[in-house]
Amino acid sequence: MYLLEVFLGALPEEITKMASLNSWIMIIAAVFLWITFVLFGIIAKRYERVLRKKTEWQFIIIAPSGILVYAILQLMSVFQGNLKMPVSTGRIAYSLFFLSGILSLLGALRFRKVVSPRKGGFR
């Protein structure tokens, strides 16, 4: 980023405002996504308690933790005054976000398998 500033001069104020606004929106969206998956896990827990079917709700609650770690790393980057996360931190954050997304999808598919009605009636 420093080389860019040397060649182009100081970054215009609109660009820095837009980049920081983008970062804040991404942090808020990641936190909302994490809250959504935690609420989904709580619903799965209640479903398991009421209908006595194993839903693996613990996995559904723990799986999106990488999304929260991503939001925290992004927040740290914003507070340090960076327009983007450093490359090493970005790799860790995006990898955790991706892995968390895959694990959350697996948890949701497992829950769907439990709650979807079976075809063919009772067996």
Q: What is the pLDDT of residues 40-88, one digit of tens each?
A: 999 999 988 988 888 888 888 999 999 999 899 988 888 887 777 788 8
Q: pLDDT by residue (tens digit) across 12-28?
A: 676 666 667 777 888 89
Mean pLDDT of the 33-44 span = 92
pLDDT recorded at residue 102: 94
Question: 15 or 91, which is more confident?
Answer: 91
The arithmetic mean of pLDDT across residues 91-116, rounded, is: 90
Provide the token pair at 21: 């606004």
Find the Cα–Cα–Cα–Cα dihedral 41, 42, 44, 47, rounded to 10°. 180
pTM score, whole prediction: 0.74
Instruction: Count the neighbouring beta carbons within 10 Å of the beta carbon of residue 71.
Output: 21
Query: Which amino acid, one-letter code, is at 67?
Result: I
Would you say residue 100 has pLDDT above 60? yes
Token pair for 105: 């999808």
